[in-house]
Each structure stands twice: as C-alpha cells, then as structure tokens.
Amino acid sequence: MIVSNRRQQATPRTPAVVSRHVLVSLYERPPQTELTLDEFEIYAVDRLKILRTIDALKQKGFKPRELEAELAPVLAQALPLRGSAEHVKADERKDQVSHFILRLGYSRTEEMRRWFLTQECALFKHRLGTLSGPQLGLFLAANGLKFEEVSDADVDARSVALSKISKTGDGGAAGYYRVPFVEAIDLIGRREVYLEKGYAYVPAAKLHAIVVARFRSALSRSLAKASSSLAAAAGDPRLSPLLNNIEKHDLSNGKDLEDDDVEGIHPEQIDALAKQSMPLCMQQLHGALKRDHKLKHWGRQQYGLFLKAAGLSMEDQLRFFQAEFTKIMTVDAFSKEYAYNIRHRYGKEGKRTEYSPYGCYKLIMDMAPGPGEYHGCPYKHYDDDHLASILGAMDISRESSQAILGQAKSKNYQLACQKHFEVTHPKAAGVAARPDGVGNHPNAWFKASRIYHKEVHEAKNPDAVKQVEPAAAPAAAPAVLLAN
C-alpha cells in the first residue's frame, strides 16, 4: 500500500458486472493501492466509528436483531458496501484499506488485538447475514470455502436426530453440511447442530456461523503476525500520530483523549477533580494515596497513566507523588525507588516509549487487585457490601445507588460505570460532554465530566466565557510517497 499527500486523480468510469461481484471480504491480502494521507486517516476513523458503535451497542445489551437495525444506518453512512457500478470499487477499496490500517494499529498489545478481533468478527457476521442465498454461494466460491454437503440419503437416515435441532421444523429445508466439530463450537453450545463421530451436521441456514469461526481463526493469526510490521509503519512521522494513538482515538469516539477541549491539570487541582470528575476506579486510587501516602505497583501504573493522559505533566506528576510519598519516606528514598518509573511512563527512560492509559477492558479482565491494592475496576472486584458502602457515602440517591449496584451484580460492569456518570452528570447528553466513551475508558469518563462542568459553568456565567480567536489554517504538507 502506498501513502501519498497527493489528491487522487479522477478516473473514467467503466462498466462493471456488479451482480457477480463479491462485496464481503475475508481480508486475506492487503490491497495494492495508492493512498493519500487524508484518506489514510479518514478511512481509519470511519471504520473506528463502526467498531465503536458495535462495541457500544453490545455493552448496552442490544439483542442481535436490534443491533443489526441500529448498525445498518451507521454502516450506510461511514462504511457502505453498495453493489452499484458507480460505487462498488470505491466502497470495496475503502473497506479493504481501513481494515488493514486498523489491523496494523491494533496489533500492538494483546488487549487491543482482542478488542479488534471481537468487533471485526461482529461486523463480518452482520455483513454475512445480509447476503442472499445466491450471494452467499458466490462468496463461498470466490474465497475457496468448501463444505461437505450431506446427501439426501444421509439426511433421511438421521431424520429423527436432525429434526431435534430445528426449532421451527424447516431449519434444514435447504440441506445440511458436515464439518469438523471444532469449527462449530458456538453452534454446539446453543444445541443447533447434530454431532456424530467428531463431525457436526449444520443446517444450511446456520452455515454462516462456521464461516465466521473460520474468519475469526484466520484474523487472530494475522493480528499476531501484524505486530512485527507495526514498528516500521509507526516509525514514519506522517503515520505515527494515528497508529501510535489509535486506541485512545477510538475509545474517545474519534477524539484523542488528550486533546484541547479542556486545559491540562496541575497537582493543586487533583483533590477537587478527584471528587468532581474522576470515575470510581480513580477515586479509589486517589483516596488510598491520600490515606496511606503510597500505592503499590499496579495502582501507581493505573493512576499515573490516567493522570498523564488527563493532562498532568511529567514534572508535575513527580511533584504530586513526591508530596504524598515523602510523608512516610525521605525525598532520597522516593527519588531512588519511584522517580524512574514516573519518567518511564512519559517515555523519558528505558525504551523511551510513551505508554497509553489503561482502558476499562484491561481493568476488568487483567487487573484483579490483591491485599492492600486498589487498582482494577471497583464494579468487578469489590464485593456488594463494599461497593454499596462506597456509593452510600456519595451524594447519590438510594434509588440511583441501587441501579448502579444492580448492574454490577449482573456483571454489567461498564453499564454500572455509565450509570454512575449519568446520575452524577444530569442531562449530560444535552451539552457538549460527549459521554459516548464513558464506561469504555477512565479518561473518557474524566474528559466528558470536565467538559460537562465547563459547559454548565459557562451556561450559568455567560459573561465569563472567553472569546477565542480562530486558529490559523495549517500549512499544506509536501507531496510524498510511502511504500508499506
């Protein structure tokens, strides 16, 4: 793939036999195409919108049919796959390119790979479900996906067993396919296939689940390989801002978590901000730090990276932690034991890599605290009584507290976090707080809260709003080519 700053030249339209064109892709090979830098970012961001929408809908508990209905108009706007001759090539190009950009960007860590894999499989499943019977057959043939069709005689010989997996009585009207049982694990769990001698007999109507399983397996392997190519691509200064910050860009719904919507923070503000604008996970870490004047390793990492992304400079973070830690140790001991790790978070020591703040997925899945530790997700890791006690001490109604506890008890930890934001930020959707990323990332929670309070303050004090001069337009970048 070649990236350029030049605008694409218009090319004459040529007739296309669209009816035989396969729109859904397995993304087995990256496209060979020239790409402008503007396209590189636009394509990536548009696909991120789709994947974030899928994730958000699932977090809100949307059922498959509801999710499909909500997703369709978003896809039509940001990432369509239209079959008309006028659009098919451009749509296919954008779909292919955007997938491989995000595949590269999301190959950095295991957490990012898991997230990308989950959302891409959901998108693939949705698109596969929109294909008609003939279109599905064309897709299978074009991608060399062959399945062993069960003969009528074999179906008749197993008619009693096969009838039990058809809830409506006609689930196998279009026939059955025989596949190794390991490719039908999801269907086995839902009792939608018949098992015999290591093979699953799959109704034709359920064949798409097998295709999705193969797609997941292939994409998982490809993501592991892609991580070795990331360093070369991210080393280019034109691509690195997006590739190196793609998770933050995504989790804040298309805006960098460290942008200029609100000012940076200083140590003197943190006590007030902890109470006003930090999610519960960070409030717990801040409270433990103020009470014990120390945090264990993962607590320092979680809170330190959060504060960094919130706008606290390295010098101020050193000053902030030193002020607390030196209440129980000497300045020299703090400098020897803790200052290095703080500088390391900002890319000033070791590999000189800037680290991203932890998202909710990592806090929930990988960050269980031990005795004397306060990191992780309170909704996941605190017992009911402890969580109820914490919420009871806040300025939250009993009804709202019970709603939050109910989500946590149901293991909807991110929905519990979203509910906490809703009850502490009334009518947040009515201002510019953009709460969409709340429940997905602590810094999205913090940022949305700060914008909310800024908007509320300005609404109450219109005379205090500063007049900001419009920013000058950026200078045009020179034309360059990059071969990936």
Q: 207 burial class (0-12, 13-18, 19+ CB within 10 angstroms)?
A: buried
Mean pLDDT, residues 32-44: 85
Of 111 and 99, more confident: 99
Whether residue 128 is predicted with pLDDT greater than 60 in this model: the reply is yes
Of 224 and 255, more confident: 224
Q: Give the pLDDT of residue 18.
A: 39
Beta bridge partners of 483: 2
Domain boundaries, the chain: 2-8+17-141+212-249, 143-208, 254-464
Give percent of the chain above pLDDT 90.
Answer: 45
What pTM value is reported for the model?
Answer: 0.53
Of 38 and 131, more confident: 131
Alpha carbon distance 102, 45 (integer Å): 9
Output the CA torsion sign for 16, 22, 25, 29. negative
Is 377 flagged in the annotation as binding?
Answer: yes
Nearest one of 115, 184, 177, 118 to 151, comparing CA atoms? 177
Whether residue 435 is predicted with pLDDT greater than 70 in this model: the reply is no
Q: Give the pLDDT of residue 484.
A: 36
Whether residue 236 is predicted with pLDDT greater than 80 in this model: the reply is no
2-8+17-141+212-249 classified as CATH 1.20.930.80: yes
> How confident is the model over 145-166, as pLDDT tens digits?
888 888 989 989 998 888 888 6
Whether residue 213 is predicted with pLDDT greater than 60 in this model: the reply is yes
Query: Which conformational region is residue 168 in: left (phi greater than 0), alpha (psi within -120 to 50 degrees), or beta?
Result: alpha
pLDDT bin (cut points 50, 70, 90) of residue 474 is very low
pLDDT bin (cut points 50, 70, 90) of residue 353 is confident
Q: Give the pLDDT of residue 371.
A: 93
DSSP state of 178: E
Whether residue 85 is predicted with pLDDT greater than 90 in this model: the reply is no
CA dist 392 → 321, 374, 387, 396, 421 (Å): 29, 19, 8, 7, 15
Alpha carbon distance 255, 250 (integer Å): 7
Q: Give the pLDDT of residue 248.
A: 57
Mean pLDDT, residues 27-44: 87
DSSP state of 180: E
Q: Give the pLDDT of residue 207.
A: 87
Reduced to 3 states (helix: H, G, I; strand: E, B; else coil), residue 51 is helix
Output the CA torsion sign for 207, 208, 213, 214. positive
Average pLDDT, the chain: 82
> What H or E segment, with its residue span, contains residue 420?
helix 413-424
Look-up: residue for tokens 């309070």?
Answer: 453
Is 121 flagged in the annotation as binding?
Answer: no
pLDDT bin (cut points 50, 70, 90) of residue 10 is very low
Q: Give the pLDDT of residue 196.
A: 93
